[in-house]
């Protein structure tokens, strides 16, 4: 995702920088802006991690967005290029279908262009028209997290897990199997 979170909203990079400049001018910026753990996103914009969301995100500045998208008769905040969860894909498909069935909906037509890998014609709105690729950065991060979890549950001296059934107990056996199969 290309943007930042500030005051419980998502902002494009340029608008977030404008907010940062305004806060700096009043002396309210954190001492170390790069240490995002040292301040809250309500105080100063924080960069967003690339994450799949349940909805399409546009800059919260709406028509005032530095990179606003101009449509027939109005402007909207620029698209933040976020990925969609399974729920998000269903939401977009249904919104595009509803827009096509009724009045001309320019925003949902944009979404159809942004997410052109979705199958807007199928009766099953959970289908995707192309294979959804696994983000290798996310997969690496998941492997590291699971490795840390398993490492914390195992005895480092002997290499034996305290309980061999812990992956099953924590419901992560399927995740471990999926990761093993994808390598």
What would the mean pLDDT of 73-77 be, rounded to a whole number? 91
- pLDDT attached to residue 29: 97
pLDDT at 181 over 60: no
77 within some domain: yes
What would the mean pLDDT of 46-61 be, rounded to a whole number? 90
CA-CA distance, 106 to 98, in Å (whole number)?
12
Mean pLDDT of the chain: 77
Tell me the residue range of the domain where 49 lies: 4-84
Out of 49, 69, 84, a domain closes at 84
23 within some domain: yes
| Largest interatomic CA distance in the chain | 69
Cβ within 8 Å of residue 23, ≥6 positions away: 29, 43, 44
What would the mean pLDDT of 113-128 be, rounded to a whole number? 78
Q: What percent of the chain has pLDDT over 90?
A: 51
Report yes or no: 77 and 61 within 8 Å, Cβ to Cβ: yes
92 within some domain: no
pTM (2 d.p.): 0.65
Same domain, 16 and 79: yes
What would the mean pLDDT of 138-156 be, rounded to a whole number? 50
120 within some domain: no
Helix (H) or strand (E) holding 140, with range, is: helix 136-153
């Amino acid at each position: 995702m290309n943007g930042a979170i500030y005051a419980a909203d998502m902002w494009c990079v340029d608008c977030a920088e404008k907010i940062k400049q305004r806060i700096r001018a009043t002396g309210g910026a954190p001492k170390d802006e790069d240490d995002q753990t040292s301040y809250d996103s309500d105080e100063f914009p924080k960069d967003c991690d690339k994450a799949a969301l349940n909805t399409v995100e546009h800059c919260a500045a709406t028509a005032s967005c530095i990179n606003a998208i101009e449509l027939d008769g109005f402007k909207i905040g620029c698209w933040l290029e976020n990925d969609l969860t399974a729920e998000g894909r269903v939401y977009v498909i249904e919104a595009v279908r509803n827009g096509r069935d009724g009045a001309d909906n320019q925003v949902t037509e944009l979404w159809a262009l942004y997410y052109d890998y979705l199958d807007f014609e199928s009766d099953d709105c959970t289908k995707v028209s192309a294979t959804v690729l696994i983000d290798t950065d996310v997969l690496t991060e998941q492997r590291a997290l699971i490795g840390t979890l398993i490492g914390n549950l195992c005895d480092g001296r002997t290499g034996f897990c305290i309980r061999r059934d812990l992956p099953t107990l924590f419901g992560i056996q399927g995740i471990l199997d999926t990761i093993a199969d994808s390598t």
